[in-house]
Amino acid sequence: MQTILKYTAPSRLLHWLMALLIAAMFTTVWVAEDAPEWLDHTLVNMHKSFGIVLLALIVIRIVARVASPRVEPIKASPAIQKGSHAVHGILYLLLIAMPLSGWAFVSAFGRKIDFFTLTELPAILDTNKELGKAIKEFHEIGANLVLVLVIAHVAAAAYHHFLLKDKLMDRMLP
pLDDT digit string, tens, across residues 80-112? 889 999 999 999 999 999 999 999 999 999 999
Assigned superfamily of 3-171: Transmembrane di-heme cytochromes, Chain C (1.20.950.20)
pTM of the predicted model as reported, rounded to 2 decimal places: 0.94
Instruction: State residue 1's pLDDT score.
Output: 63
Helix, strand, or coil here: 74? coil
How many CB atoms within 10 Å of residue 65?
16
Of all residues in the chain, the percent with pLDDT exceeding 90 is 85
Instruction: State residue 4's pLDDT score.
Output: 87
Burial class of residue 83, CB neighbours in 10 A (0-12, 13-18, 19+): middle
Instruction: State residue 72's pLDDT score.
Output: 87
Strand duo 3-4 + 70-71: pairing: parallel
Mean pLDDT for each 10-residue chunk of the chain (174 residues)?
86 96 98 95 97 98 92 86 93 98 98 96 98 98 98 94 90 90
The ranges assigned to domains in the chain are: 3-171
